[in-house]
Amino acid sequence: METPANDKPQLDRGLLLVLSAPSGAGKTTLARRLLADSPDAVFSVSYTTRQPRGKEKDGVDYHFVDVQSFQDKIERGEFVEWAEVHGHFYGSSRSVVEQARAKNGIAVFDIDVQGGQAIKRKYPEAVLVFILPPSMEELERRLRDRKTDSEETIRKRMLVARSEMERGIASYDYIIVNDDFDRAYSELRSVVVAERCRRGRVDLGRLHLDPAPDGKPSAAPGG
């Protein structure tokens, strides 16, 4: 039997937005633009047990911690998701979800598909967006232009990228091709706007409406 529309559960306050992409697709740049344009957005800075690379800063790019500290956080239930990747541990703090919900804002996660799927299992209302490069050739060019990786590392990144894209395309809610940054950002903003207008996220309490069982407003007296 179909559940009446007005009996559907209310979505939790706040929007949990997961952005995933292969390295070099531009998701971090898109995330930073979204944060700059969204005063109510909270960015999830992941925790990791690996060492900083290049110009990475603690508390900005990642929270760098030792294995024991990471394990302590797991036992205290402080992560909304965590995983081991290439011998290092990565995790997203649950406090970001709480902050976004407290102010009905946006929690932005810049994580891989494995982490995104874990969040979706815990919070089915989370919105997953996968960012694609225009082509594999363009992705490789971007990685080479960084001039930070060896030939072997680039080859490994390309293999990982193919696997990540196949999983993201199969399981994510939205797909955005970043062949033009302004257009890709416009599409990302459109996703956010649409999701924040979704029935269940809009606060209708002040209207004191009493919807009919089929979800349609009751007819006005004498109508």
Look at residue 81 and give its three-state secondary structure: strand
Per the domain annotation, does 3 fall within a domain? Answer: no
pLDDT digits (tens, 9 = 90+) for 73-106: 999 999 999 999 878 999 999 999 999 999 889 9
Per the domain annotation, does 152 fall within a domain? Answer: yes
List residues bridging with 16 in a β-sheet: 107
CATH number of the domain that 122 lies in?
A: 3.40.50.300
What is the per-residue burial (b if ≥16 Cβ within 10 Å, else e) of 54-68? Answer: eeeeeeebbbbbeee
Per the domain annotation, does 220 fall within a domain? Answer: no
Instruction: List the pLDDT tens digit at each of the 223 positions of the chain.
Output: 344 444 444 456 789 999 999 888 889 999 999 999 999 999 999 999 999 988 889 999 999 999 999 999 999 999 999 999 878 999 999 999 999 999 889 999 999 999 999 999 999 999 999 999 999 998 888 888 877 778 888 888 899 889 999 999 999 999 999 999 999 999 999 999 999 998 877 777 778 776 555 555 554 444 4
Single pTM value for the model: 0.81
C-alpha 152/C-alpha 27 separation (Å) is: 23
Per the domain annotation, does 214 fall within a domain? Answer: no
Per the domain annotation, does 123 fall within a domain? Answer: yes
- Output phi, psi for 110, to 5 deg: -105, 85
Please count the structural domains in the chain. Answer: 1
Per the domain annotation, does 4 fall within a domain? Answer: no
Per the domain annotation, does 223 fall within a domain? Answer: no
Alpha helices (H) in the chain, listed in sequence order:
27-37, 67-75, 94-102, 113-122, 136-146, 151-171, 181-196
Per the domain annotation, does 154 fall within a domain? Answer: yes
pLDDT digits (tens, 9 = 90+) for 129-145: 999 999 999 888 888 88
Query: 176 lies in which domain range?
Result: 13-202
